[in-house]
Structure 1
Amino acid sequence: MSTEPLTPEDDALAAEYALSLLEGAERAEVEARLAREPALAAAVARWQAAFAELAEEVAPVPVPERVRRRLEARLFAPPPGARTAAGPGWLRWLSGVAVSGAVVVALFLVAPLPGLRFAPAFTAELQAEDSALDILASYDPGRGELRVERRAGGPPAGRVLQLWALAGDAAPVSLGLLESEATRLVLPPELAPVAGELTLAVSEEPPGGSPTGLPTGQVLAAAPVQPL
């Protein structure tokens, strides 16, 4: 068992682990070290407590009525000439969310840490009211990279999860499929300048994703990103 003091690099590594930013072999290596390095384990516990306290300071924000109306009017109108589907749709589901308050978002800033390879500027937690789906998205503006961690839940059988971003008056933009518990996505360059003003949403789609370029299945979680 190692009793050596913690280095700044290992402290940054502990913060990355606490934020669930490590994957695969890198995460497994840290977990193996935790069993034999008390200083590293203590650092992870300290960072987890700090991030949990920070998250608790920001109250969940239900989707406001004005946001629902704006999304309906500006973002989810069907394309010209498009036929309205009879089944469950994005627009109808979003209206239900506004009434039931089924989706909340918690956002908090994460200060860049020395030595971090991935330094998120904000994180967004998308969670359904019944907690059946819990997704954490962390964005690093330096890389233009969005890391998405599915912490609970998943798509219905035979379906896939697809992540969407909405900005201003534009239509939803697909960010990609969430095919595993941890996914790295690149934010399109045109969205990077307004990353702090986006609305993120997750829908369930047929294998391969939406065939139309817009959400076609049920939206499982959605939340506006609010500036801090």
Structure 2
Amino acid sequence: MRDREDIDLVAADYVLGTLEPQERVAVEARRTREPELDAAIVAWEQRLAPMLDEVEPVAPPPGLFPAIQAAIDTAATPGAVTELAALRRRLGRWRAAALGAGALAACLTGVLLVREVILPPPQTFVAVFHDGDTQPRFLLSVDLESRALTIRPVTAEPVQDRTYQLWIVGEGISSTPQSLGLLEDVSGPTRKRLKQYDPAVLRQATFGISLEPPGGSPTGQPTGPALHGTLIPADE
């Protein structure tokens, strides 16, 4: 999977023209011996080609070409050849600027497309459990793709004759908290699998940690003081 993503990124950079000259030469050499890379480049060219139709043309300054023609027609004084050369250089710069503006617009549009197509939506979410204004007691993370949950103690410490218990509640799960098991050792992280829950349901769930008697809640519901947290994307 990683190789496939790398090939797509290289192909996108090649088509967008963001590679250094030596990198571009290296990619051109690779595509002759790597059919998968060549196919990815062709796919990106086909994907980005319609964008050129959406780039507004950049017109040269009004009167530019008539002025150049007039200067050519009336050039009859010493130094006219030098002036004409300067005008030609200026015209080249203006034309290059027009082409560059169009290419930049296409490139920026392409970068947005690359971000949408290649970069996946965030899959790792976190929840912080703290009591009032105190430092966090626990930090919970969930990978929605694998539905792997990890909860790490931050400032939480063992409590004599008590154990921490993890809960989950939310739409699509239950109207009352459901136990996800005990956190019997708060000296290190606890890991669990939540395969029974749909990722979309997990994303909206509320998690809780309560302090219970040894062995867990005797009622099936939180009985002691509880901390709560909801998931937020880890990259925000």
The TM-score normalised by the length of structure 2 is 0.41
More helix by share: 2
The TM-score normalised by the length of structure 1 is 0.43
